[in-house]
Structure 1
Amino acid sequence: MKPILQNLVEMTGHRDHLRLEVSVLSTLQKLSSILEVRALELFTDEGVTYVRPRTWVEDGQLVSTSSEAAADPRRETLEHYPALRVCVEDHGDSALASPRKGRYVLWLPVWMHDKVSTCLEITQSRPFSAHKLDVLKGIFLVYQNYQSLLDYSERDALTGLFNRKTFDEQFSRHNLSPLNGHNGHNGLNGLSGTSEMNGRGSHPNGAAESPGSGDAAAAPPEPVQQWLAVVDIDHFKQVNDRFGHLYGDEVLILIANILRSSFRSHDRIFRFGGEEFVVLLRSTTLSTAHKVFNRFRQAVQEYNFPQVGRVTVSLGFVSTARGSPVEILGQADQALYFAKEHGRNQVCFYDDLVTSGHLAAKVANDDVELF
């Protein structure tokens, strides 16, 4: 019992979802008769629910993938896990199966916001006794409760999006490393960032599309990059002044919902406070980024907000390939304010504004910006 308690103390010392996941799997792996432990990710792609291993044991070491879920060749439909499928459909807390002699599997889905995006899978060589199930479920409940606490601290109370504190921690601490398009997997010592999902799979209108084959034949393929966009609701103060803060809050919640449906599960969306949001768009080309950001802008423009009517947003974005986090965020802000000062309801790319002479590039030196 003492080693389990020590592992629980270590597990709850983490402030990162992925490291917490690795820690609980390490704790479970040390129990007797355990053959294999994995963390599975559940996601939806074009209406089909898939399962893929996200963290597992390889050569005695816990490793975790950082590849895009929808493109993972190891993904399988949930139909390949019939016991787990029934458990999820029934909102159950566990599922048991024995796919073959000598292998007994327990699935423990992590329920958050009435959805499952993560499931722990534990395989052992003998049937699970009642005592063993109690121990496993006890460890799992500590893990799930702590995941919920982390999730709560990372999110904006009104919209449910990630908050400014979470952005600062992820963006500055890892200096964009969680967003780089790495397609392999990392060992325990290489884990960084968060694997928490927004509770949705790749959206059909997301940023996964690529230029057409005719374009590709005419010109070299565009490089795939990561992009940071700052979004601001146009004339939001007028909404609050005219209709009151309750309707203003409803507009914020509905904008957050449109953001969720406009981007993919592995993109990141933050509320910075007030009417400002930030999107980290992962692994796509400049032309596709333009299309996706404009599609979101148009979705807001066409949405009929109750009582308020029509609302528009302005957006400025920049590549995260060059500069410190402060510089990158500042450049996206410059592009945003140019959009707001020149008509609103538009998307502006920072590099285009600099190239056209509409903005002067800043040179930053640590905390001092030189103009």
Structure 2
Amino acid sequence: MEALLKHLVDMTCQRDHVLLDTSVVTALHELVGAQQVRVHEIFRFRHELFLRPRVWIKDDKVISAEETLDMETSGEPINTYPFLVDGIKQRKNCIEQTADDGSQTLWLPVWLNDKVSTCIEVSSPTPYNSDTLHMIDGILSVYRNYQNILDYSERDSLTGLLNRKTFDEKFSKLLSCAMLEGTPKDQQERRHPHDGDIKQWLAVVDIDHFKRVNDQFGHLYGDEVLILVANLLRSSFRSQDRVFRFGGEEFVVLLRSTTLDDARKIFDRFRANVEQHEFPQVGKVTVSVGFASISTESPVVILGHADQALYYAKANGRNRVCYYDELVSSGELHSEVSNVTVEFF
């Protein structure tokens, strides 16, 4: 009982989804003797559902996909797991799968507002008894309730995207991980990365002439445009990427582990998706995008680079994607080097 209370206290003191996932994985591993525990994210990409591990245990050590920049984290089609698919269709809270060797896997969908975006996988060499299943159900209930509270605090109430406060936290964590991956050899290498290099990217997205939409059609239609653009952002980027509403008609995207050429294509595909979308009553809407590579410079500098590229895009025709380093190389923008240390926000 003392161990159970300790883990419940640990779960309910977290203020971050990754830490909450870590707490529930640790609790299930230690309290019920699970051989393997994984917290999966269920997400839709290009009209297909995928399953991607978010936090798991390996060699008695908890690993988070958020902190592992160099591994493949795109996930796999959920149809690979027919037991899970059938269980979700039947709206089950626990799906039991027993293998030929007697080992058992429990799939535990986490239902929030009649939707499931998280599933916990618990594997054991032998089936669990009723008392252990009852304990697992209790831990899952606490996890579900607290995840709902965290989700409410991390998301923008209108669009459902992650909010500005969450961006500050996620961006700082991403930069810390990037620092551990190593620093560039010199400023020149940082300024001109090779097109084939795998990097992280930050983009600032702004809806063109949004004030005109509000003035002409009213704020209700303006809000609908924001919601629809947010939906297009969700469908245009991968699960391991992160999309935020930064404020007003401005959004920020953290694009993970891709090359410059692919980053440019991904951002331009999103821009084209918005341009081709028919917005009710309003008609056509476009967006401008400015992006920069995430280096070892300060968060304010990186965000400023993407902002400069965005303002260049808006001042030079709108409905386009601009890359900061490219603008600097061509002389369209002038970079400013500063050795002043800036605290992030």
Please state whether the residue corresponding to 2:214 is helix, strand or coil.
helix
The AA in structure 2 aligned to 1:306 is: P
Report the TM-score when normalising by structure 2.
0.85
CA distance 1:274–1:46, shift in 2 (3 Å): closer
- Show the 5 A alignment for 1:262-273: 262-273=236-247
Query: Residue 14 of structure 2 aligns with which residue?
Result: 14
Identity %: 53
- Show the 5 A alignment for 1:298-309: 298-309=272-283
CA contact (8 A) 2:88 2:109 kept: yes
CA distance 1:30–1:298, shift in 2 (3 Å): closer
User: Cα offset for 1:165?
Assistant: 0.6
* Structure 1 unpaired stretches of 5+: 183-219
CA distance 1:298–1:61, shift in 2 (3 Å): closer
Answer yes or no: is 1:165 the counterpart of 2:169.
no
The AA in structure 2 aligned to 1:328 is: I
Aligned alpha-carbon RMSD (Å): 2.7
CA distance 1:274–1:18, shift in 2 (3 Å): same
Query: Residue 204 of structure 1 aligns with which residue?
Result: none
CA contact (8 A) 1:94 1:109 kept: yes
User: Cα offset for 1:36?
Assistant: 3.7
Query: Residue 255 of structure 1 aligns with which residue?
Result: 229
1: CA distance between counterparts of 2:265 and 2:320? 12
Greater CA drift, 345-354 or 107-116? 107-116
- Show the 5 A alignment for 1:70-81: 70=74, 78=78, 81=81
CA contact (8 A) 1:230 1:336 kept: yes
Please state whether the residue corresponding to 1:366 is helix, strand or coil.
coil
Query: Residue 311 of structure 1 aligns with which residue?
Result: 285
Report the TM-score when normalising by structure 1.
0.79
CA contact (8 A) 1:297 1:345 kept: yes
Query: Residue 207 of structure 2 aligns with which residue?
Result: 233
Answer yes or no: is 1:91 the counterpart of 2:91.
yes
Query: Residue 271 of structure 2 aligns with which residue?
Result: 297
CA distance 1:79–1:342, shift in 2 (3 Å): closer
Write the deviation string for residues 159-183 of structure 1: whole angstroms up to 9, x where unpaired: 111111111111124425279999x
CA contact (8 A) 2:203 2:291 kept: yes
2: CA distance between counterparts of 1:262 and 1:79? 21
Query: Residue 72 of structure 2 aligns with which residue?
Result: 68
2: CA distance between counterparts of 1:236 and 1:110? 37
CA contact (8 A) 1:179 1:282 kept: no
Pick from 250, 263, 277 the counterpart of residue 276 of structure 1. Answer: 250
Greater CA drift, 2-11 or 285-294? 285-294
CA contact (8 A) 1:37 1:120 kept: yes
Answer yes or no: is 1:223 the counterpart of 2:197.
yes
Greater CA drift, 345-354 or 171-180? 171-180
Query: Residue 320 of structure 2 aligns with which residue?
Result: 346
2: CA distance between counterparts of 1:45 and 1:251? 21
Please state whether the residue corresponding to 2:99 is helix, strand or coil.
strand
CA distance 1:98–1:321, shift in 2 (3 Å): same
The AA in structure 2 aligned to 1:307 is: Q
Matched residues, number = 327
1: CA distance between counterparts of 2:32 and 2:333? 64
CA contact (8 A) 1:268 1:279 kept: yes
User: Cα offset for 1:54?
Assistant: 4.5
User: Cα offset for 1:44?
Assistant: 5.7
CA contact (8 A) 1:37 1:57 kept: yes
User: Cα offset for 1:313?
Assistant: 1.1
